[in-house]
Structure 1
Amino acid sequence: MTAPRTFRIAAVPGDGIGPEVVAAGRRVLDALAAETGAFALEWTEFPWGCDHYARTGRMMDADGVRALRGFDAVYFGAVGRPDVPDHISLWGLRLAICQGLDQWANIRPVRFPPGVTGPLRRDDTAELDWVVVRENSEGEYAGLGGRNLAARGPGSEVAVQTSLFTEAGCERIIRFAFELARTRSRPKVTCVTKSNAQQYGMVLWDEVFARVAAQYPDVESDSGLVDAMAARFVLNPEELSVVVASNLHADILSDLGSALTGSLGLAASANLDPERRAPSMFEPVHGSAPDIAGRGTANPLGAIGSAALMLDHLGLAKEAARLDGAVAAATGAGVLPADLGGTATTEEVTAAVIDRL
């Protein structure tokens, strides 16, 4: 009998409810590994985050990105605390990992699990399931710009934030979206733009999209302005399959999509290096939620869904589908945390998923 493959996973629980949901996800993954015998996980935990910043002045070790390169994947919790400025916590940890490892493709599925009543749950037969593909390495979050002229006195400071759009960066994420669309029941890609107002970067984005779309005649495609797309998420979501957008636009729209399912607590994501030169990172989208940290009420389903994305990326598609099925069975049975209108604790939701593996 062939021994199961062992994957080395770096766990970065981070701040707030991050440690709680990462612990829940790890329990589920370990249970699935034991149940199936198809794989094994070797965990290494890194205590980076705002506590680390308070002790050392850094959100992560100076050689943290290099240390992560030796792993098969990174399982991330959340980052942020009220006493640490958000731009320090985000750029010091999550973005440092994403950019340092060139995890240029971010995917955020928008799914409507059974048993959950969200704003778009029109009836039990509505099939609403799409994926937001986010450019994850440049665009509006490239980190280019600066603040100047403050020495001239109050009211004189100037801040410049520059968006970066490269032809190569646009093409690789748009092509990724088309390849993903080919794997879905409805092969369609919807492009999000704002080229009417952003006449340089987003016009390049539009031109690259048109060129790539022409190379995929088997995939339906369309395009819309980001403001109209926000309305479309609400009014005509059944038209969506794969939505590709720049860093900022996809960040906002994917949160909107997850909120429409019922809660950001359901939102899973993957920060991918599709070329597999470095490990990819998997994380829930809900943030650190410090107001409920330590209460045992955090929703672990976003972290568990991210774990399923991690399994799929590691070549364990059947096990990923089994995990997604267990989540659907748990919510369908009415085991819901507080943010979804239920009363189940983090522990109870986790146990319910494990019981249904």
Structure 2
Amino acid sequence: MSAVLAESLAPARYVPAALPATTIPVAAGDGIGPEIMDATLAILKAADPALAFHAVTVGLKAYEGGLMAGIGEDTWQAIDQHKIILKGPITTPQGGGYKSVNVTLRKTLGLYANLRPCVSYHPYVTALHPTMDVVIVRENEEDTYAGIEHRQSDEVVQCLKLITRPGCERIVRYAFEYARAHGRKKVTCMTKDNIMKLTDGLFHKVFDEIAPQYPEIATSHMIIDIGTARMASRPTDFDVVVTPNLYGDILSDVAAEVAGSIGLAGSSNIGHDCAMFEAVHGSAPDIAGKDIANPSGLLLSAVMMLVHLGRAKPATDIHNAWLCTLEEGLHTGDIYRDGVSRRKVGTREFAEAVIARLGQQPKKMAAVDYPEREPESLVHPDVSIPPHVNAKKALVGVDVFLNWDTDTRDPNELGAALEGLAGEDFRLALITNRGVKVYPNGNPQTLRTDHWRCRFPALKETVDGQAISRLLMRIADAGFDAVKTENLYTFDGVRGYSQAQGE
């Protein structure tokens, strides 16, 4: 028995909950992963003896075995059987076409909601805002994380940002259901719809449509740049924040650091049928094997897992024991501070300290008390198709993107050539470069690459695909390289495409 464990035994014998047996697939991960997973599982076993753990292959071992996605077949089979996984940090090899394990699991399993509670543990962990308690709800499948990218010329690559109405509705409803289930008072939506009026505009619009269905919850919207700044400077203004994928990725890391450390942040990835709980910090191979890593991030993720499984008592007991350990100054090196910490402990010793405090409650920080619920009791919303989605769709033109390069890159030369190719169905309205109008009457100071968007509106109310095909044939016959097209549609007479800068 360690000195820490011996001196801090609970005053009364701890009695764990009597719960049904459950098996959890476990991926230890890479770097410090095996150490912090061992510590976390020891605590889970002490608080919930009915849990069993099944090791699966994820990360470097899978990559080295030739699996480019870093996931073994045993992992897929275990998740399919148990609908859950607890995962440590993963190292993804650089280059060579290796896929991110996290992204693959989230997208393959439909884990559409990423939850990141960001809580300050002042004064035991240094925090910029001692009373911070925010939950980031991040859409987890769409946006630029669809991973659809193309190189279209020597100088230009593109990444498609995909936002869907069903995806927006699902994550927004989930954020409100989470707030309702956990007694949260406010949900804030963050987007950049002052610039991306269609994609982010759709997310904001769906939020505004759904919010009135939860009249007891206050709502607000913020542009993501000022919203992120406010999260860093005034996080107590927020309660639950819902946002698209990329913004949520950045915002949740900012919030975790402001709260104290990303190393303490728990995370869950929730789908209709499956869930993944993981540490969000890196694998830290430089400190692997030294028994100094802090297991708290993975442990708090495991607490979220217990809540998800309807195992409220062990979740409450572990979380409170962890808070007691912080209060008593038994800290790993990453959060150790002279004058605040009482002793610097290693990974195993920290886990022993938490186990010894099972059944205790913190005296200075607020204790937690997870309510008893049925497993996976949080509502998973079904998406609807409002009548206005079935809009009358009309094809009214086409944007043709050309890879065109000359010594001068003169847009007037390109425009003159394309004017003669527009034919009887179209007119050349404008040419843009990097989204900025360069023809007609462009600014000569605009930086011009070898990638040009050429907008051809229809001369009639609508056109058909054959007219666009004929236009593309004329462009090809003239020697131009059309690398991409985007049809221009209206929906119930409302334009479904953005204007160019300067249009």
TM-score (norm 1): 0.88
Q: Which residue of 1 aligns with 2:167?
A: 169
Output the CA distance in 2 between the equivalents of 1:324 and 1:87.
39
SS of corresponding position for 1:79:
coil
Q: Is the 8 A contact 1:7 1:72 kept in 2?
A: no
Output the CA distance in 1 between the equivalents of 2:347 and 2:57.
21
Pick from 11, 16, 28: which aligns with 2:43? 28
Q: Which residue of 1 aligns with 2:437?
A: none
Q: Could you tell which deviates more after superposition, 181-190 or 169-178?
A: 181-190
Output the CA distance in 2 between the equivalents of 1:86 and 1:259.
31
Q: Which residue of 2 aligns with 1:330?
A: 325
Q: Which residue of 2 aligns with 1:6?
A: 21
In the TM superposition, residue 308 of structure 1 has moved relative to its aligned partner by 0.3
**2:45 is aligned with 1:45:** no
**2:145 is aligned with 1:134:** no
Output the CA distance in 2 between the equivalents of 1:57 and 1:147.
26
Output the CA distance in 1 between the equivalents of 2:350 and 2:230.
32
Q: Which has the larger radius of gyration?
A: 2
In the TM superposition, residue 24 of structure 1 has moved relative to its aligned partner by 1.4
Pick from 263, 269, 293: which aligns with 1:298? 293
Q: Is the 8 A contact 1:115 1:334 kept in 2?
A: no
In the TM superposition, residue 313 of structure 1 has moved relative to its aligned partner by 0.2
Q: Could you tell which deviates more after superposition, 100-109 or 40-49?
A: 40-49
SS of corresponding position for 2:242:
strand
TM-score (norm 2): 0.63
**2:94 is aligned with 1:94:** no
Q: Is the 8 A contact 1:270 1:306 kept in 2?
A: yes
Output the CA distance in 2 between the equivalents of 1:146 and 1:64.
31
Aligned residue type for 1:18: G
Q: Is the 8 A contact 2:187 2:241 kept in 1?
A: yes
- Ranges of 4+ aligned residues in structure 1 off by more than 6 Å: none
Q: Is the 8 A contact 2:27 2:58 kept in 1?
A: yes
Q: Which residue of 2 aligns with 1:225?
A: 223
Q: Which residue of 1 aligns with 2:188?
A: 190
User: Structure 1 unaligned runs (5+)?
Assistant: 35-39, 150-155
Higher relative contact order (CA 8 A, sep 6+): 1
SS of corresponding position for 1:176:
helix
In the TM superposition, residue 64 of structure 1 has moved relative to its aligned partner by 4.2
Residues 101-131 of structure 1, C-alpha deviations (whole Å, 9 max, x = no match): 101111000111254232424xxxx532111
Q: Is the 8 A contact 1:8 1:73 kept in 2?
A: no
Output the CA distance in 2 between the equivalents of 1:63 and 1:100.
15
Q: Which residue of 2 aligns with 1:105?
A: 113
Q: Which residue of 2 aligns with 1:256?
A: 254
Residues 60-95 of structure 1, C-alpha deviations (whole Å, 9 max, x = no match): 2357434421114200001115x53497251xx222
In the TM superposition, residue 267 of structure 1 has moved relative to its aligned partner by 0.5
Pick from 68, 73, 95: which aligns with 2:84? 73
Q: Which residue of 1 aligns with 2:352?
A: 351
Output the CA distance in 2 between the equivalents of 1:26 and 1:145.
40
SS of corresponding position for 1:234:
helix
In the TM superposition, residue 157 of structure 1 has moved relative to its aligned partner by 4.9
Normalized per residue, the structure richer in helix is 1
Q: Is the 8 A contact 2:146 2:162 kept in 1?
A: yes
Q: Tell me the percent identity.
A: 37
Residues 221-270 of structure 1, C-alpha deviations (whole Å, 9 max, x = no match): 00111111111112211111101111111111111111112211100000
Q: Is the 8 A contact 2:136 2:240 kept in 1?
A: yes
Output the CA distance in 2 between the equivalents of 1:26 and 1:62.
23
Pick from 279, 301, 310: which aligns with 2:305? 310
Output the CA distance in 1 between the equivalents of 2:63 and 2:221.
42
Aligned residue type for 2:136: V
Q: Which residue of 1 aligns with 2:484?
A: none
In the TM superposition, residue 185 of structure 1 has moved relative to its aligned partner by 4.2
SS of corresponding position for 1:120:
coil
Aligned residue type for 2:347: T
Q: Is the 8 A contact 1:266 1:302 kept in 2?
A: yes
**2:31 is aligned with 1:16:** yes
Q: Is the 8 A contact 1:114 1:332 kept in 2?
A: no
Q: Is the 8 A contact 2:114 2:137 kept in 1?
A: yes
Q: Which residue of 2 aligns with 1:37?
A: none
Instruction: Tell me how many residue pairs correspond in the alignment.
Output: 335
Output the CA distance in 2 between the equivalents of 1:86 and 1:140.
21
What RMSD in Å do the two structures reach over aligned CA positions? 2.0
- Cα 1:335/1:286, change in 2 over 3 Å: same
- Cα 1:64/1:215, change in 2 over 3 Å: same
Aligned residue type for 1:209: F
- Cα 1:61/1:111, change in 2 over 3 Å: same
Aligned residue type for 2:71: M
- Cα 1:348/1:67, change in 2 over 3 Å: closer
- Cα 1:86/1:107, change in 2 over 3 Å: farther
Q: Is the 8 A contact 1:114 1:328 kept in 2?
A: no
